């Protein structure tokens, strides 16, 4: 939302997902238009490697954990592999070291699909590896939905201090 309020409401999250859906649609159209030019084994490998490295190990560890807690390393692996920056670097390196090719569309198709279709983005350490509402966020969302944009007492005190 802004640099001081790093959260999304249901509406702003929906709008963000629509933006990602637009990018996904562009990539899908490119893939359809260049269908016969895609090396499908490369496409499948690039599409799969994101989850093989970034999701599956954490998902397995999460399911094996009795209390749902797993190493932060799984979150780092997930966030690294599900980063558009990582995908851009990988695509750039592939284009330079192998060749530019339409199979590279697998990377944005996977990542934008995760974001637009499933609502998944990067994972902070303070939430469970698999989606589950955090109690503090559920409380916040409930309180926020009834606040109608009012400033908190702490925010007003801070603003008053600045004026002094």
Provide the pLDDT for residue 65: 97
Total-model pTM: 0.85
Low-confidence ranges of the chain (pLDDT < 50): 161
Give how far the C-alpha of residue 109 lies from the chain's centroid of Cα atoms, to the nearest Å. 13
Provide the pLDDT for residue 104: 98
Provide the pLDDT for residue 141: 85
Burial of 89: CB neighbours in 10 Å, binned 0-12, 13-18, 19+: exposed
148: region left, alpha or beta (phi > 0 left; psi from -120 to 50 alpha): left
105 closest CA partner among 161, 19, 39, 27: 27
């Amino acid at each position: 939302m802004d640099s001081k309020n790093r959260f999304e409401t249901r509406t702003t999250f929906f709008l963000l997902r629509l933006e990602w859906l637009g990018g996904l649609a562009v990539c899908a159209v490119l893939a359809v238009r260049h269908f016969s030019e895609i090396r499908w084994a490369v496409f499948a490998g690039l599409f799969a490697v994101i989850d093989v490295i970034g999701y599956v190990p954490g998902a397995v560890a999460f399911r094996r954990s009795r209390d749902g807690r797993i190493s932060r390393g799984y979150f780092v692996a997930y966030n690294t592999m599900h980063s558009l920056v990582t995908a851009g670097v990988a695509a750039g390196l592939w284009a330079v070291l192998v060749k530019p090719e339409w199979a590279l569309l697998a990377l944005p198709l996977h990542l934008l699909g995760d974001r637009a279709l499933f609502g998944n983005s990067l994972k902070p350490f303070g939430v469970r590896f698999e989606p589950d509402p955090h109690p503090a966020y559920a409380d916040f969302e409930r309180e926020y939905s009834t606040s109608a944009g009012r400033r908190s007492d702490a925010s007003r005190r801070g603003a008053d201090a600045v004026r002094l």
